[in-house]
Amino acid sequence: MKIMTALRLTGMTLGISLTAALCLSASAMAKGTGYIFVSNEKTNNIIVLESKTLKLVKDLKTSRRPRDMHFSDDHTKLYVACGDDDVIDIIDVAKLEVIGKIATGSSPEAFMVDEQKRRIYVSNEEGSSMSIIDMDQQITLAEVPTGAEPEGVWLAPDRKTVYVTSEVGDLIHHIDLEAGHVIEDVVVGTRPRRFAATPDGNELWVTTELSGEVWIIDRGPFKVLGKIEFFPPGMRKTDVTPVGITMTSDGKTAYVTLGHAAHVAVVDVPSKKTLSYILVGKRSWGITLSKDEKTLYVANGLGDDITVIDVASRKAVTSVPVGRIPYSVVIDE
């Protein structure tokens, strides 16, 4: 009896261990896959690529017009703003399947996720508002009026403040989340699009598409510190239409996509000087930097591809066809 009991207990232990191992394996699969996700506005899909080979892993169908994308903190889920269906799709990263949808305002474009407070802050392009969404109940708690065509959204580290760009108003809105409304604005260049922030959170860098600049805002007194213009070789000034922007973790270098000018500008952050330009595809918009900061990925809106850039040499090494009008690119790592 003792032997049989011991065997049964051993079998149960092995079963529990195997189950735990499988759960850990599934969890591991959901994190750090290295997959590259590219949202495509016109083909209503996300192309998933393997980062080492750049081979197709999956053509993932989404709601209509997928645009901005953000992972959950543990990278088990990917949230995708889908502008033509007024929803944020929820994707299971391990299964590569859409597992849910969250209703938003009219034409969601960009957003930020705050998992500590379980909130999503999303700009509604056609609704001229920012929605505050409860992630657990999946309901809109409040609509904060903004200027026309809001896009860029940036959540401050204290989680008390959100900044939103208004493309038509040429404004950056400072929104107090406790008060639930815009408390002050600052005027920038024509058609502000997206944000990057210095690591200390003191400076906000904002791309202004139609004035061809990046504007720099001091968050303390909330005022403009200056702006940067771009002059890529062989391009007309009117072609310089900055949209995407990202910054290295040490805050020393910024990379800016120049839209129709088909270049990425490399900017020294402390001096605010442009160091060089990298030739990429047509209407470069979305941009992301790999975790090791050795590779840049650029979504080319009118090239229907992404450009892969070696950071050390500051040269494009290849391009990969994706869907029509790629908007955003993110990496699970």
Distance from C-alpha of 110 to C-alpha of 36, rounded to nearest angstrom: 19
Distance from C-alpha of 70 to C-alpha of 59, rounded to nearest angstrom: 18
Both 309 and 241 in a single domain? yes
User: What's the pLDDT at 73?
Assistant: 96
Both 168 and 228 in a single domain? no
User: What's the pLDDT at 15?
Assistant: 39
Range of the domain at 105: 40-187
Residue 256 · residue 278 · CB < 8 Å: no
Distance from C-alpha of 281 to C-alpha of 297, rounded to nearest angstrom: 11
User: What's the pLDDT at 12?
Assistant: 34
CATH number, position 275: 2.130.10.10
**Number of domains composing the chain:** 2
Both 183 and 64 in a single domain? yes
Both 75 and 182 in a single domain? yes
Both 242 and 123 in a single domain? no
Both 155 and 223 in a single domain? no
**In-domain check, residue 16:** no
Residue 301's H or E segment, with its range, is: none
**In-domain check, residue 15:** no
User: What's the pLDDT at 9?
Assistant: 31
Distance from C-alpha of 217 to C-alpha of 208, rounded to nearest angstrom: 13
136 by Cβ neighbours in 10 Å (0-12 / 13-18 / 19+) ranks as exposed
Token reading at 206:
């904002």
Both 46 and 180 in a single domain? yes
Both 176 and 271 in a single domain? no
User: What's the pLDDT at 210?
Assistant: 98
**In-domain check, residue 25:** no
**In-domain check, residue 3:** no
Cα distance between the two ends of the chain: 51
**pLDDT tens by residue, the chain, 333 residues:** 333 333 333 343 333 343 333 333 444 444 689 999 999 999 999 999 999 999 999 999 999 999 999 999 999 999 999 999 999 999 999 999 999 999 999 999 999 999 999 999 999 999 999 999 999 999 999 999 999 999 999 999 999 999 999 999 999 999 999 999 999 999 999 999 999 999 999 999 999 999 999 999 999 999 999 999 999 999 999 999 999 999 999 999 999 999 999 999 999 999 999 999 999 999 999 999 999 999 999 999 999 999 999 999 999 999 999 999 999 999 999
Alpha helices in the chain (DSSP H): 2-29
CA atoms within 13 A on the CB side of 116: 5
Both 130 and 244 in a single domain? no
Q: Residue 61 CA to chain centroid, in angstroms?
A: 19
Residue 262 · residue 298 · CB < 8 Å: no
Contacts of 116 (CB under 8 A, 6+ apart): 159
User: What's the pLDDT at 10?
Assistant: 37
- Side by side, which strands form the sheet with 139-145? 108-114, 119-124, 129-134, 139-145
- DSSP per residue, 36-48: EEEEETTTTEEEE
Determine what percent of the chain falls in helix, strand and coil, rounding each to the nearest 5: 10, 50, 40
Residue 196 · residue 181 · CB < 8 Å: no
**In-domain check, residue 17:** no
The pTM score is: 0.90
Report which of 63, 59, 57 is spatially closest to residue 41, judged by C-alpha positions.
63
Distance from C-alpha of 235 to C-alpha of 141, rounded to nearest angstrom: 46
Residue 172 · residue 218 · CB < 8 Å: no
Both 252 and 322 in a single domain? yes
Both 326 and 239 in a single domain? yes
Both 132 and 257 in a single domain? no
